[in-house]
Amino acid sequence: MPDLFSMTLEDKLYRTRYEPDSDHPHITVKEEICRSCVGKPCVLLCPAHVYKRKPDERELVLVSHDNCLECGTCVQVCPTDSLEWRFPDGGMGVKYRH
């Protein structure tokens, strides 16, 4: 078994599954406010790499809901309050497998 530091993100998230709610995403980005954020700490600090910079507009971020662990790190580190985050509706979101 590989050690924790040599494992890929996919290896670490193997025991999680995400049930997306495409009609009601639990994370939304206020784009006009997000543009003013220089450091984009959500991209750097999200443990599941949910956020990535948009390739064509580097001042904005893309959200990959399918990886979200619902830990709330992104909301805590966002200096501009440009993220709206809530728990997904019942039965949706992250599911942990044994």
- Chunked into runs of 10 residues, the chain (98 residues) has average pLDDT values of 71 74 88 94 94 94 89 95 90 75
Q: Is CATH 3.30.365.10 what the domain over 24-96 is classified as, yes or no? A: no
Residue 45, pLDDT score:
96
Q: Which of 83, 52, 50, 53 is nearest to 67 (CA)?
A: 50
Q: Which of 42, 40, 37, 48 is nearest to 8 (CA)?
A: 48
**Segment holding 28, helix H or strand E:** strand 27-29
For the chain, the structural domain boundaries read 24-96
Residue 46, pLDDT score:
94
